[in-house]
Amino acid sequence: MTAIRKVLVLGASGDQGFPLLQRLLEEGFQPTAGVRRADALKDTAFAAIPVVPADLEDEESLFKAFQGQDALAMHLPFEFDRARAAGFGRRIAAAAKRAGLGKIVFNTSCFVADHDLNLSAHDGRRDIERSIAESGVPYVVVRPMVFMDNMIRAWSKPSIVNKDVWAYPAGETLKISWICLEDVAAYMTCGLARDDLTAEKVLVGGPEALVGAQVAERLSAAAGRTIRFQSLTPGDYAAKMSLLVTGSSEVLPHSIYDGMAQFYSWYNIQPTSPLVVDVAAALSKLPISPTPMDRWAARQDWSRV
């Protein structure tokens, strides 16, 4: 049984953080949230979880947050300034080493290749991974494919429930090993529990590699009506996201919308989809029970608004 019990969580207050906190609690870990705002968990189901200040720009802040903890589990905001992302990694790694943490588990929140792609957000993730590996602290890096939960976000779900159209920047033939956030949390928690894993980078995904039309079939079954897949260009998708959030369809350079378009443009032109994972290889290291798309879709509310 692992000696790790106390786990500092960076990114605890977001969509990816809540499933992780829930899984940690279920598995008997004692999470503490490293946050910028003291009230970050107020009015959530996790309000009783202790919080400590943690600033990614300040190594001393991170060191203080890590003291007394056994391990760190984290996902980080997408940063399209590669140098800034690399700074996050250096400070986290240095503080973790100083604090004597027993393990770091890092959820990259996206596909990460084993080489630079000349995409700033992607390459910044690789810089963070490198700092973790060079710190000497045992680590597990979890590299998820694409989140099923993207379908229930504000930029996707309204079209599904009101127009019966699931629009996404994936080509008609792009296969994706879709994964739900609960499974990412399960993989991360398993990484914390496995004392024998000390220097691992694991690509994780769901049990099926599906093209857009196959996803639409599963959404249709869950909704009880026909949902149609619409393949958008990455640029159009980014413009729609920007319009929804900012009120302008202009996709500014180095914005999250520009970064999303760059990611999907790269995915769509590869001769073989990089978003298909060898599930057996992942489960040999991090044995969980991955969730199929139809089971995840059945848990969601697709009622018309």
Residues 132-183 pLDDT 10s: 999 999 999 999 999 999 999 988 999 999 999 999 999 999 999 999 999 9
In a domain, 115, yes or no: yes
Average pLDDT over residues 293-298: 98
Mean pLDDT of 33-56: 95
- What's residue 64's pLDDT? 98
* Digit-coded pLDDT (tens) for 211-246: 999 999 999 999 999 999 999 999 998 888 888 888
Instruction: Evaluate whether residue 90 is within a structural domain.
Output: yes
**267 assigned to some structural domain:** no
Q: What is the pLDDT of residues 174-217, one digit of tens each?
A: 999 999 999 999 999 999 999 999 999 999 999 999 999 999 99
Q: Could you tell me if 86 and 116 are in contact, meaning their C-beta atoms sit under 8 angstroms apart? A: no
The overall longest dimension of the chain from CA atoms, in Å, is 56
CATH of the domain at 131: 3.40.50.720
Torsion from C-alpha of 276, 281, 284, 289, nearest 10 degrees: 20
Domain count, the chain: 1
Region 89-102: mean pLDDT is: 98
pTM attached to this predicted model? 0.95
> Does the residue 261 lie in any domain?
no
Please tell me the predicted confidence (pLDDT) of residue 55.
Answer: 97
Q: Tell how far CA 64 is from the center of its chain.
A: 25
pLDDT per residue as tens digits for the range 21-42 = 999 999 999 999 999 999 999 9
The token duo for 22 is 């829930």
Angle formed by the axes of helices 82-99 and 59-66, nearest 10°: 40
Q: How far apart are CA 6 and CA 70, in angstroms?
A: 5
Does residue 36 fall inside a structural domain?
Answer: yes
Residues constituting the chain: 305
As a whole number, the mean pLDDT across the chain is: 95
**pLDDT over threshold 60, residue 1:** no
Asked if 113 and 258 touch (Cβ cutoff 8 Å), the reply is: no
**240 within a domain of the structure (yes/no):** no
Measured at the alpha carbon of residue 286, what is the angle toward residues 282 and 287, in degrees to the nearest 5?
100
Residue 43 located in a structural domain:
yes
Number of neighbours of residue 249 by Cβ within 10 angstroms: 14
Contacts 24+ apart (CB under 8 A), 263-269: 263/110, 263/119, 263/121, 263/122, 263/234, 264/169, 264/170, 264/234, 264/237, 265/234, 265/235, 266/117, 266/119, 267/111, 267/170, 267/174, 268/169, 268/170, 268/171, 268/174, 268/234
Q: What is the pLDDT of residue 253?
A: 82
- Which pLDDT belongs to residue 39? 94
Q: With respect to residue 99, please indicate whether it lies within any of the assigned structural domains.
A: yes
- pLDDT on residue 100: 98
Alpha-carbon distance of 37 to 183, in angstroms, equals 27
Band of residue 119 on the pLDDT scale cut at 50, 70, 90: very high
**Residue 59: which domain range?**
6-137
Mean pLDDT value across residues 72-99: 96
